[in-house]
Amino acid sequence: MKIESRVATQLPESPKQAERSDVFSDSHASTTPPLPWLKPFQEPLFGIGLVMLILSGGAFLLYDLLNDSGRTGTYNSLMIMLHYGLFIIYGLMLWTSGYLKIRDTSRHRPVRWLGLLLWLISAYALNRDLPVFQKSTEWLCWTLTLVGIAMITYSWLDMLSVRVQQLLYAVLAFGFWVFAYMAVYMVEWYIVSVPMLIGLGLSCHTFVPLAFTIALGRRLWYDYRHNEHLRPGVVLGAAIPIVALGLFLTGWVSDLNRIDRIRRESTIRQTSDLPEWVLIAQQLKPGWITNRLLLAGQLYDLGPFFSNSSGFFPSQTGLDDVRQHDPLVVIASNLYPTDGLTASDKLSLLKTIHDDHHTTEEKFWTGRHLTISDVVSQVRIWPQFRLSYTEKTIRIHNQASITTEEALLTFHLPPGSVVSSMSLWVNGREEPARLTTVAKADSAYRTIVGVESRITARDPSVVFWQEGNRVTIRVFPCRANEDRRVKLGITSPLAIAGNELVYQNSNFEGPNAISATELINIDFDQTPQSLESPWLLEKLTGNQLIHQGSYEPNWSLRFKAPALSPDAFVMPDSNLAYQLMPYKPRWSSFVPNDVYLDVNAAWTKDEFIAVFNAATHIKSHVWLFDDGLKQLTKQDLEATYNRLSAQQFSLFPVYRIQNPATALLITKAALSSPTLSDLKNTTFAERMQQTGRQTEPIRTFCLGNNLSPYLKTLSELSVLNVTSGTIHDLSHQVVTQHQFPKQLNEPGQIALPEAGVVIREITRPEPTATVLRKSNAPDHLARLFAYNHLLHQIGRHYFTPNYQTDTLIHEAQMAHVVSPLSSLIVLETANDYERFGIKSDRSGLKNATLKQEGAVPEPHEWALLAMLAGFIGWLIWKKRYATA
């Protein structure tokens, strides 16, 4: 039977059904409103309730927008009283007007539902301070919002078409299941909440989900039985959550079964170098369900049913203490617990699958209320020297009212960059950092922040080198309602692209910076030619760019590459100088005897077959790692590819290559992989020490321009000699011409291929050498040389427990750079430096700065300055003597 667009007049005409046919019929009303949409306002309390609801909802939303980090304290208490007061006032009005009778009449329902929505908003406002429910996940927030809108729209039900009515009831049915879940979730609080009603009655919020479940359940059940045209909407809305939960549980169980299978298979592997979590990470595909499985108990709350992780005192998490409440995760984790994975395994999997090292870093204090207020980026660019120096001054604000917190920032640096300065503002003064060993810096910070801060919060800040062009900065204490300022200085080579130079801004992860402002000031040492700058930068003069406005993390500059400057930087108190030369790739004759394929999901089948054919063309043996080194044959191609391409990433054990001098490793980068530091204390890491016996780097060809974090670190440490390109480049260079790029290994020279330059260290035969007569080059030449030279010197020794030597530490100290063995740290007092054995080295360079040029006077110039100072002093002494 065809359903008309309006159904109000088609309902049965029995007394009860007649009441339903006109949702807002009033036996006392004698007139009809002139406009249909004004009909709900015949009830005087409807308009009042709607205004109160808009006021309460608007205040709640505005609070969240202005306080995205969850400010607590007096301010939130006032907001709680506002929402609770509106609910109490409207509730008293309903009660005194007789609207709260048990019998649910149609004319009272819209008014009562407005009261329920006010109650719900009040409950979530209270939840900010007393988190019975942790922060709702995004889909849950949208669901509650849509259900609230549907409950308000219900007031105009008789004006809606059939399809819209069905959609409305589908939303209400969906909401019924959500509130039913919440009502069950709150069961353990019901008995506790009843006696607490004697006070201000705030514990009445415990029963909000139960009240919504009853109200929506009654209405849906009644209308489903009596209004046939509404049944499709009710069925659809009730079915969607059940189907969604079923699909979620299916994916959840599938991941758990895959994890159990991998763990069982790992016991029969011939090679057990890699830990179980790595083998699991290779097989797990990142996805919406997998993410929640790994974050269950960490970012996502597990609920009160079988754990103690919920309630007024939630436990700390491995990521931070800001948890989210996702009903799907709560149900799945309690029906099918993830007991097979430890917390450390989950964190390791998250680091690998999502390349998420920042949120998984160890923290001593929470940082949930921290935000970035402003960022000041001061940049100095030397086009003629292919380098730049950037100072990022970051102001961190703690929005909490009483909590002292710790800030953690992870900076992602351009390739080849090094941190060359850091400062922390202590008692209103900028205090520069001191360079020391990683062990001393870590010990000092842990002692002050992790132990002594429980008694008295003191001021330390430290920066650590991380693999993959990253550094982490820790700042403590960030006191409640106060700001902390920290500054980081970054020395970077400018990337060359054709005949252009590219400056890439360094971005960072850390406290929320969505509302931060930024000042960018870029100063060129010489006027750039053909400058291409982003829209946010305004040109002031020929050599300067500026931006003031919202914080923008991702931007870059491009300009024509000028000729290299012949000027050199002279290291103070030494006979060493540093000068640039053009980088020219060198080629060596090379025909590999053995080709090793590092296969993962990034490879296509065509690439796999093409590489195999190219290798067999030059009569090389083709090997791959598949639970041991295995030689690849033409008959095994398809089966082998299907098996290995299921790996999301690969960690080729380069220590298993028997003859590195005649071997070629061919790889293609996966999106993510573990870093060497993630593999500490594993058999794989121990066996990597065997690479220390290699006489030369392993030649490696990468299909594409990116390396995985694992291979990138091996390349930086000169374990691998990497070149990249396409299948055509591989065939042309290796197969046809039998050539491979030669790694620059001449003493006193460091190549920076990304910048197209070589930094040469010169030992001056005599002070009057023409090219070194004046030192007009910035000291960053020496810093970049030292940093890259340190990586090369560390090389394969990185895998040995005690690779830090006095010689390497002294080199880092002289250049004042952060490296795998050196860190920058700021402590509060001189006594703190002394008790941790952190001395200020007077030799070498200090913190890099924009306040002075990098040039240091020559020895003869120092002599002239000393003579001038002596002459001025003699004049002053003579004048005073004559006066006396």
Condensed to tens digits (0 to 9), the pLDDT of residues 730-756 reads 888 888 888 898 887 678 899 998 899
Q: Domain ends where: 193, 210, 233?
A: 233
How many CB atoms neighbour CB 502 within 10 A?
17
Cα 778 from Cα 388, distance rounded (Å): 10
Look at the chain and report how many structural domains it folds into: 2
**DSSP helix/strand/coil, 621:** strand
Instruction: Give the bridge partners for 825, in sequence order.
Output: 434, 462
Residue 805 CB partners (closer than 8 Å, separation 6+): none
pLDDT in the model for residue 310: 41
pLDDT in the model for residue 472: 95
Is residue 167 included in any domain, yes or no? yes
- CA distances (Å), origin 539, targets 70, 501, 547, 827: 39, 18, 9, 39
Cα 787 from Cα 575, distance rounded (Å): 19
Is residue 644 included in any domain, yes or no? yes
**DSSP helix/strand/coil, 547:** strand
Instruction: Give the bridge partners for 595, in sequence order.
Output: 622, 664
The predicted model scores a pTM of 0.79
Q: Domain ends where: 211, 233, 255?
A: 233
Q: Domain ends where: 737, 768, 792?
A: 737
Is residue 229 included in any domain, yes or no? yes
Q: 341 phi and psi, to 5 degrees? A: -110, 125
Is residue 152 included in any domain, yes or no? yes
**Among candidate residues 725, 660, 688, the one with its CA nearest the CA of residue 801:** 688
Instruction: Give the bridge partners for 560, in sequence order.
Output: 500
pLDDT in the model for residue 540: 67
pLDDT in the model for residue 768: 43
**Among candidate residues 794, 215, 220, the one with its CA nearest the CA of residue 467:** 794
In this structure, the strands spanning 500-504 and 135-136 are unpaired
Quick one: how many helices (H) and strands (E) in the chain? Answer: 23, 31
How many CB atoms neighbour CB 719 within 10 A?
24
DSSP 8-state code for residue 636: G
Task: Give the tokens for residue 164.
Answer: 């819209």
Beta strands in 794-836 (DSSP E): 822-826
Is residue 112 included in any domain, yes or no? yes
pLDDT in the model for residue 407: 94
pLDDT in the model for residue 24: 40
pLDDT in the model for residue 250: 96
Is residue 480 included in any domain, yes or no? no
The domain containing residue 723 runs over which residues? 591-737
DSSP string for 27-90 = TT--S--SSGGGGGGGSHHHHHHHHHHHHHHHHHHHHHHH-TT---SHHHHHHHHHHHHHHHHH
Is residue 267 included in any domain, yes or no? no
Beta strands in 531-631 (DSSP E): 538-541, 544-550, 556-560, 568-570, 576-582, 586-589, 594-598, 621-625, 629-631
Place of tokens 């200090």: 846
- CA distances (Å), origin 68, targets 55, 57, 370: 20, 16, 10
**Among candidate residues 723, 692, 703, 712, the one with its CA nearest the CA of residue 588:** 723
Q: Which helix (H) or strand (E) element contains residue 291?
A: helix 288-295
Q: 824 phi and psi, to 5 degrees? A: -105, 135
pLDDT in the model for residue 102: 59
What strand order describes the sheet that includes 757-763?
Answer: 568-570, 576-582, 757-763, 749-752
Is residue 62 included in any domain, yes or no? yes
Q: Which residues of the chain have pLDDT under 70?
A: 1-34, 67-76, 102-106, 199-200, 304-322, 540, 692-695, 745, 764-775, 852-884
DSSP 8-state code for residue 731: I
- CA distances (Å), origin 544, targets 488, 525, 539: 21, 9, 6
